[in-house]
Every structure is written in structure tokens, then in C-alpha cells.
């Protein structure tokens, strides 16, 4: 394992934006309609489709990623 100095680790975490991971939408989310399609009530439709036919899970989710 690479030896890391405490000062280097603290500086790494202190610089730039907080955190290390960023979540970026893969679909447009610029309006209330977009959010409604992505979340409630829109998310119910793919959930119901997957429930009726589990083979569609890769079509509607990131599971295949």
C-alpha cells in the first residue's frame, strides 16, 4: 500500500468542492414536468412494468450498467 502523509490527505480533502462523488442526472430535469416524470407519479409506470415483467428491468433502470 502507498504510504500517505496526514498533511497530504487533509489537503486533498480540503481543496476544491466538498465531497468526492458527484451525481449527475442522465435525463433532463429542468422543469416540474421533468421531475414528475422522473419521480412521483412518473416513476410508478416503469415500476409497475418491471413488476409485471421482470425481464424489462434493464430497460428502465441502471441495473445493467
Domain containing 43 equals: 31-65
Instruction: Please answer whether residues 58 and 64 qualify as being in contact, where contact means their C-beta atoms are separated by less than 8 angstroms.
Output: yes
| 6-64 residue pLDDT tens | 899 989 888 888 778 888 999 999 999 999 999 988 999 999 999 999 999 999 998 87
Judge whether 50 lies within some domain.
yes
Q: What is the tally of structural domains in the chain? A: 1
Judge whether 19 lies within some domain.
no
d(CA 56, CA 46): 9
Judge whether 1 lies within some domain.
no
d(CA 65, CA 55): 15
Instruction: Please answer whether residues 50 and 57 qualify as being in contact, where contact means their C-beta atoms are separated by less than 8 angstroms.
Output: yes
The label of the residue with cell 433532463 reads 28
Amino acid at each position: 500500500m502507498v504510504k500517505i502523509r496526514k498533511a497530504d490527505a487533509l489537503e486533498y480533502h480540503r481543496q476544491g468542492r466538498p465531497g468526492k462523488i458527484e451525481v449527475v442526472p442522465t435525463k433532463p430535469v429542468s422543469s416540474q414536468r421533468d421531475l414528475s416524470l422522473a419521480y412521483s407519479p412518473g416513476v410508478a409506470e416503469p415500476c409497475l412494468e418491471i413488476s409485471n415483467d421482470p425481464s424489462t428491468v434493464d430497460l428502465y433502470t441502471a441495473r445493467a450498467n
